Amino acid sequence: MAGEPLLRLDKLSTHYIAGGGLRVVRAVDEVSLSVNAGETLGIVGESGSGKSTLALTIMRVLPMAAKIVGGHMWFEGEDLVQKTDAEMREIRGKRIAMVLQDPMASLNPLFSIGNQIAEPIRVHERVSRASAWERARGLLKAVRIPSPETRVKQFPHEMSGGMRQRIVGAIGMSCEPRLLIADEPTTSLDLTIQAQYLNLLRDLQREHGLALIFITHNLGIVAKMCDQLAVMYAGRLVEAGPVSRIFNAPEHPYTQALLNSIPRMGERDQRLTAIAGQPPDLSALPPGCAFAQRCPQAFHRCRSEAPPVLHPRPDHTLRCWLSVDAPAERPRVLAGAAAV
């Protein structure tokens, strides 16, 4: 894929500022990554690692306390950080859409399904009510909702969870965006419905050639859905690259630990390993690498200096001292000392 990616984040930082600036939570800390047209990027990380804040930053619908404090978001040649609120409103829902975590709560209970799907079409494309509703019926059909003619007039409480999630998906697709961000869209669905929904998203992606950012903590979904993977830890990007490379040869100790914590077929006797310890407090990050406290391979430099962003291969990003310092130069911190 030659040329400029569809979306390129360049050292993007979003902080939550509380107590009049006394407490600063670095929810997104100098994140750089890119998504090409038609490609799927998975973003994984623990709860609180800044995945959702990153998504809301791209959409520019952050809560009051959160501020974009640095960096750029290049989308189709324009920097979204520099856009005014009015310009951003034209992009939101039209060129970049987002699907929220909770399908039960993200539809307004007082308006019909048709009204809610037609709404962004009417606002962004200024078409008549009748043709927007016609499009809404078409979208319901596209997300495989049976008898769209009657469903379009019904209300959210008359739908099952899986249907509501597909409706939220239809709202996301309504103006044929170039990029769709899905923030854990399947967490509240059971496994069969989950699989149906993922297949649906993939089909829609193929038909429309849209780029997907898939935020999840489910590595199985990443393996099934994504071309590229970005791993976040404590607001920072620790490793990014093609899914096949990262799954087969993870280089960052956190990525390795994450992959070791999921069960694999055929390795029936092997125990799963959990990652010991807790993620750090984002308002009081240690000076070095944020993962150093929990890293089994950490050495002295990991605790004193933040690791640089490395590109061991053109399509691979890594933020770890292990690949900078040769193994001989690494005085290991012993397990006993790590507890201090």
Partner 1 sequence: MGRYITRRAGYCLLSLFLLSLTIFFFVRVTGDPAALLVEPGASAEDIAAIHHQFGLDRPLWVQYGLFMWTLFHGDLGQSFYYQTPVFDLYMSRLPNSLMLAAVAMIFSLIVGIPSGILASVRVGRFWDSAGKMFALLGLSLPSFWVGLVLILVFSVYLKWLPSSGAGTPLHLLMPAFALGWYFAAAHMRLTRSSMLDVLGSEYIKLARLKGLPEALVIAKHAFKNALIPVITLAGINLVIMVNVAVVVETVFAWPGIGRLLYEGITFRDFPVVQGVVLLGGAMIVLVNLLVDILYATIDPRIRLER
How many residues touch partner 1 under the rule CB under 8 A: the total is 28
Cβ 59 to partner 1 shortest distance, Å: 6
| Residue 185 contacts partner 1 per CB under 8 A | no
Cβ proximity to partner 1: between 158 and 315 the closer is 158
Q: What is the 3-state secondary structure (H, E, C) of 49-67?
A: CCHHHHHHHHHCCCCCCEE
Instruction: Calculate ∠ Cα 193-197-198, nearest 5°.
Output: 120
Q: Using CA atoms, how far apart are residues 51 and 216, in angstroms rounded to an integer?
A: 8
**Closest CB to partner 1 among 51 and 301?**
51
- Nearest alpha-carbon partner for 133 in 155, 145, 159, 115: 115
Tokens of 241: 């690259």
Which one, 71 or 172, has the nearer CB to partner 1? 172
Of 99, 131, 109, 105, whose CA–CA distance to 118 is shortest? 131
CA atoms within 13 A on the CB side of 165: 22
Of 80 and 258, the one with the shorter C-beta distance to partner 1 is 80
**Closer residue to partner 1 in complex, CB, 115/255:** 115
Find all residues with CB under 8 Å of 231, minimum gap 6, and list them. Answer: 44, 45, 237, 238, 239, 240, 246, 252, 254, 255, 258
Give the residue with the Cβ less far from partner 1, 164 or 294: 164
Smallest separation (angstroms) from partner 1 to the CB of 74 = 20
Binding string to partner 1 for residues 129 to 168, with x set by CB under 8 A, is what? --------------------------x-x----------x
Subset of residues 86 to 125 that bind partner 1, contact rule: CB under 8 A: 89-94, 97-98, 100-102, 105-111, 119-120, 123-124
Shortest distance in whole angstroms from residue 231 CB to partner 1: 25
Report the nearest approach of partner 1 to the CB of residue 89 (Å): 5
**Rounded least distance, CB 225 to partner 1, Å:** 21
Structure tokens at 291: 């993962």
Pick one of 17, 24, 59, 68: the residue that binds partner 1 (CB under 8 A). Answer: 59
In whole angstroms, how close is the CB of 105 to partner 1 at the nearest point?
A: 4
Question: Rounded CA gap, 286 and 232, in Å?
Answer: 17
Instruction: Using alpha carbons, select from 167, 159, 160 the residue that is nearest to residue 139.
Output: 167
Comparing CB distances to partner 1, the nearer of 175 and 223 is: 175
CB of 163 to partner 1, least distance (A): 16
Q: How far is the CB of 138 from partner 1 (least distance, A)?
A: 18
In the chain, the DSSP E strands lie at 7-18, 23-35, 40-44, 66-75, 78-79, 96-99, 179-183, 211-216, 228-233, 236-242, 310-313, 316-318
Residues found near partner 1 in the complex (CB under 8 A): 59, 61, 89-94, 97-98, 100-102, 105-111, 119-120, 123-124, 155, 157, 168, 171
